[in-house]
Structure formats: structure tokens, C-alpha cells
């Protein structure tokens, strides 16, 4: 069998080529079973990431760390050379759909990786599922992909959007106060953050006094949103923003006089290493929860930070960590299949992959198809002249419940 069956082949000629047994299968099933099959020649990997708009730096970090990992293993997987084919999704589900089709149907990649925005992942879910295209997602946390919209063809090496806000809801109610107002961008990941934080905050005796949804991807004039937060009568704010929007929000929070007055908590993306230099002292004292911190002191993290600095010329951030671990998962998956990229073999191989990551123990959970990993409560402080997320506590191993009723 050839390495891949191009989507452009007609159904009739494919069935003639494939013989009688193929006639019983649907076309997506046939294409899914055959794409990338075999175990020789280069492995093409489709990379769908934002290289423009507010999440551009996230895409760059993921890409550079993947390239760093692959370079360190000689740009070969299971004895086959690797070719990364990168496409810019912007933050646009329609653009991402076109790029995914191009990668699968023209470039004939063996599988897809990348995807930062939950909106983009949600838009591609049916394409991956219906055509049996494996996606190893290195960021977008949309809860639905581990729950009602789960498909065997989407696995995550990153997190689900339930993890950070659920951990923070409990932590904030126990450590800061019982009245919270929430601020999120108006898209799928924002909604996941509202639900996750609300569920655990209320379970710990807290009350949500308001939910603010700001325009996505660009908030526009932040002043009215800051005024609403100031006037809400809350003990604390919980927010979810990332990339350019995180710089906008944290800077506005400080400019409006809220920093240091009204405790700010968040999913840790909002004060990650990619944005801290631009936020400066405005971010000091922000409390967050996340599955990694620059200051985590373990052998894997210390090596990763040193290597990334040498490779990229800048400090690592959580998105680089996720790109690095994604490459590690791909490496392990193809070792297990002995280089065979038949989709069902790759899916089977993903189950239970585990290793010591720079984030701590990492294991792919078969139920949520996302990592089981530790969550850390963090605090932005100045450490040896740089702003870092110091670790307040290790909140322990966390796995998505895979069920809306549990969080
Ligand atoms: C998301 O859309 O799921 C997302 C984007 C940026 C950071 C974290 C999550």
C-alpha cells in the first residue's frame, strides 16, 4: 500500500484499486486507515499554529521548542526523517479549516499538531473526527474535547481549560476571600474558565458577584471593564487572558489603580514568561494556578530552560514547555509504532505515555485524552532581577474528570 491516499483521488478509482473489501467501508474510514500507513520514508507533520494576532508569541514558543527537541534527536523519528509543515491559523477557525485541509489533502501529512485557540480546535473537531485525522494538540484547552465532543483522534499534551480555574477557585476561596468577579474574553476558553472557577469557588463557600465578558481577540478600550471590576464589591478578581490580551489587561489593571488594591488571580497564562517582561511591575503579586513555572527546580526543567535559552535566545515559557513535551510524546508514540503512521496504531500508542517532564510527572490519561499533571499555585515576584512566578504550593496531581457534572 502506498504511504498515503490523496483526498483528490476519485471514490470510484480508489475502490477499483482497493478491491472488493474496500467497497464495504466509508470513504473517510478508508482514508483514515490508509493515511500515513507504512513505516518508511519521511514523516510529514502538519503544524497548525497562530503566527499572527494576539497569540503569535504562543505559536512561536511552541514551534521553537518542538524544533529544539527534534534537532536534539537528529530530526529523525524511529529512523525516518521528519518534515514539519507549518501553517498560520491566525485566531480564525475558518482560516484554520482551510489550512488543515491543505495539510492533509495536499501535503499528505501523517498527522497534525499545534492549535492554540479553543475556538479553532472546536471548529476543526468534526474534520479530524470524520476523516480520522490524528491531532496531537499542544495548547487549546476546550473542555468539550475531553467530554461531550471527545473523539479518538484528538489528544492533548497541554491541559484542559478546567484545570487552572478549578484549582484557583478552591485556592482563592481558602486564601483570599469569598466574593469574586470574573473577567474573560468572550469565546469558548473564556466560558470554560467561568465554569471551572465558579464550580470550585462556590463549592468552597464563595460567591460570584459578576461575570465580565470582553471582546475577543481584542478587548478595545479597557477602561469601562476596569471600572466595572472596581465597583463590583468583590474581594478578588479571577481572570483568563493570554498573549497580547494579557498584556492589555494587566497593564490596564495597574493603570486604573487596581493592582495591589483588589487581589488579582488568574489562570497562569496571563502572567507567563512570554508576557511578564511587557507587563513589568504591574504584574507583581498576581496569584495564578498553572501546570508549570519557570522556577520549578527539577533536573528536566533546569536542562530545558538552559537548552531553550541557548536555542531561542530568550527564556522559556509554558508554551515552549508544551511544544517540547509534544515533541516528546510524538517521539514516544512513533517508537511504540516502530515508525508506522497508520492512524489507529498511533492512537493506540498514545494511551498511557508517561515521562518525567520539566513540569513534573506527565502521563496521558486515556479517559480525558489529556495529561494527568501537577498544578501549582504561583505568585509573581522579583527573583534575581527578573519577574518570575514563585511557587506558593504544589496542589498535587490533577486529571480532568471528563464529565461536566464533576467540574
Ligand atoms: C484556549 O483557547 O484554550 C487557550 C488560549 C490561550 C491560552 C490558554 C488556552
Region 282-306 average pLDDT: 98
Region 197-225 average pLDDT: 98
Region 106-131 average pLDDT: 98
| pTM, rounded to two decimals | 0.92
CA of 118 to the centre of ligand 1 (A): 6
Which range, of 2-11, 251-260, 357-366, averages the lowest pLDDT?
Answer: 2-11
Fold of 163-290+374-404: Rossmann fold (3.40.50)
- Give the phi and the psi of residue 132 in degrees, each rounded to 5: 55, 50
Region 179-200 average pLDDT: 98
pLDDT band at 407 (very low <50, low <70, confident <90, very high): low
222: pLDDT strictly greater than 80: yes
CA of 167 to the centre of ligand 1 (A): 16
The three three-digit cell numbers of residue 100, written as one number: 488543515
3-state DSSP call for residue 97? helix
Region 120-135 average pLDDT: 98
Residue in 164, 166, 158 with CA at minimum distance from that of residue 371? 158
Q: Please tell me the distance from the alpha carbon of residue 381 to that of residue 389, in angstroms, as a whole number.
A: 6
pLDDT value at residue 5: 23
Choose one of 55, 115, 140, 154 to mutate for the ligand 1 pocket test, by most ligand atoms within 8 angstroms of C-beta: 140
Region 342-357 average pLDDT: 97
CA of 191 to the centre of ligand 1 (A): 11
The three three-digit cell numbers of residue 121, written as one number: 480546535
- Give the phi and the psi of residue 362 in degrees, each rounded to 5: -125, 130
CA of 34 to the centre of ligand 1 (A): 32
pLDDT value at residue 117: 98
7: pLDDT strictly greater than 70: no
| Residue of minimum CA distance from atom 5 in ligand 1 | 117
CATH code linked to domain 11-159+299-366: 3.40.50.2300
CA of 63 to the centre of ligand 1 (A): 16
Query: Fold match between 11-159+299-366 and 163-290+374-404?
Result: yes
Summarize pLDDT for 85-102 with one digit per residue, the tens: 999 999 999 999 999 999
Give bridge partners of residue 91 from the DSSP assignment: none
Choose one of 141, 246, 288 to mutate for the ligand 1 pocket test, by most ligand atoms within 8 angstroms of C-beta: 141
Which atom belonging to ligand 1 lies closest to the Cα atom of 140? 3
pLDDT band at 404 (very low <50, low <70, confident <90, very high): confident
Choose one of 50, 57, 139 to mutate for the ligand 1 pocket test, by most ligand atoms within 8 angstroms of C-beta: 139
DSSP 362: E
pLDDT band at 122 (very low <50, low <70, confident <90, very high): very high
Taking the CA atoms of residue 252, residue 256, residue 259 and residue 263 in that order, the dihedral angle to the nearest 10 degrees is -100
pLDDT value at residue 60: 98
Summarize pLDDT for 35-64 with one digit per residue, the tens: 554 567 899 999 999 999 999 999 999 999
Region 197-213 average pLDDT: 98
Which atom belonging to ligand 1 lies closest to the Cα atom of 267? 8
3-state DSSP call for residue 55? coil
CA of 19 to the centre of ligand 1 (A): 45
Q: Please tell me the distance from the alpha carbon of residue 155 to that of residue 46, in angstroms, as a whole number.
A: 15
Q: Which residues have CB under 6 Å of ligand 1?
A: 116-118, 139-142, 161, 189, 242, 269
Indicate the domain borders of the chain: 11-159+299-366, 163-290+374-404
pLDDT value at residue 282: 98
Provide the terminal-to-terminal Cα distance of the chain, rounded to the nearest Å.
Answer: 46
Grid cell 508506522 — which residue?
340
318: pLDDT strictly greater than 60: yes
CA of 41 to the centre of ligand 1 (A): 35
Which atom belonging to ligand 1 lies closest to the Cα atom of 161? 3
Average confidence score pLDDT of the chain: 91
| Residue of minimum CA distance from atom 6 in ligand 1 | 242
Amino acid at each position: 500500500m502506498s504511504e498515503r491516499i490523496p483526498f483528490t483521488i476519485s471514490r470510484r478509482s480508489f475502490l477499483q484499486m482497493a478491491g472488493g473489501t474496500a467497497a464495504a467501508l466509508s470513504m473517510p474510514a478508508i482514508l483514515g486507515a490508509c493515511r500515513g500507513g507504512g513505516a518508511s520514508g519521511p514523516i510529514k507533520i502538519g503544524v497548525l499554529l497562530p503566527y499572527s494576532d494576539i497569540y503569535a508569541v504562543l505559536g512561536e514558543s511552541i514551534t521553537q521548542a518542538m524544533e529544539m527537541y527534534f534537532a536534539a534527536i537528529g530530526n529523525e523519528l524511529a529512523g525516518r526523517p521528519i518534515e514539519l509543515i507549518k501553517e498560520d491559523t491566525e485566531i480564525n477557525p475558518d482560516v484554520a479549516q482551510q489550512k488543515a485541509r491543505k495539510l492533509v489533502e495536499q501535503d499528505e501529512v501523517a498527522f497534525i499538531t499545534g492549535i492554540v485557540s479553543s475556538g479553532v480546535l472546536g471548529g476543526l473537531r468534526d474534520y479530524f473526527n470524520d476523516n480520522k485525522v490524528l491531532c496531537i494538540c499542544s495548547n487549546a484547552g476546550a473542555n468539550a474535547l475531553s467530554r461531550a465532543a471527545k473523539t479518538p483522534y484528538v489528544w492533548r499534551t497541554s491541559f484542559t481549560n478546567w484545570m487552572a480555574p478549578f484549582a484557583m477557585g478552591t485556592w482563592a476561596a481558602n486564601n483570599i476571600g469569598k466574593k469574586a468577579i470574573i473577567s474573560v474574553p468572550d469565546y469558548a476558553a473564556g466560558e470554560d474558565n467561568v465554569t471551572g472557577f465558579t464550580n470550585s469557588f462556590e463549592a468552597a463557600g464563595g460567591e460570584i458577584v459578576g461575570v465580565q465578558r470582553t471582546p475577543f481577540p481584542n478587548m478595545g478600550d479597557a477602561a469601562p471593564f476596569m471600572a466595572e471590576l472596581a465597583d463590583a464589591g468583590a474581594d478578588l478578581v479571577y481572570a483568563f487572558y493570554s498573549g497580547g490580551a494579557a498584556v492589555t489587561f494587566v497593564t490596564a489593571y495597574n493603570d486604573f489603580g487596581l493592582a495591589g488594591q483588589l487581589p488579582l488571580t488568574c489562570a497562569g497564562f496571563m502572567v507567563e514568561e512570554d508576557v511578564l517582561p511587557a507587563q513589568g511591575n504591574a504584574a507583581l503579586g498576581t496569584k495564578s494556578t498553572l501546570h508549570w513555572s519557570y522556577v520549578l527546580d527539577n533536573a528536566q526543567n533546569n536542562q530545558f530552560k538552559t537548552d531553550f535559552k541557548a536555542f531561542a535566545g530568550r527564556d522559556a515559557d509554558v508554551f515552549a514547555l508544551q511544544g517540547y513535551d509534544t515533541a516528546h510524546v510524538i517521539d514516544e508514540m512513533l517508537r511504540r509504532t516502530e515508525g508506522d503512521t497508520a492512524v489507529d496504531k498511533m492512537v493506540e500508542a498514545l494511551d498511557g505515555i508517561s515521562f518525567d517532564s520539566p513540569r513534573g510527572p506527565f502521563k496521558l490519561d486515556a479517559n480525558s485524552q489529556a495529561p494527568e499533571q501537577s498544578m501549582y499555585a504561583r505568585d509573581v515576584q522579583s527573583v534575581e532581577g527578573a519577574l518570575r512566578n514563585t511557587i506558593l504550593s504544589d496542589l498535587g496531581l490533577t486529571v480532568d474528570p471528563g464529565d461536566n457534572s464533576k467540574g
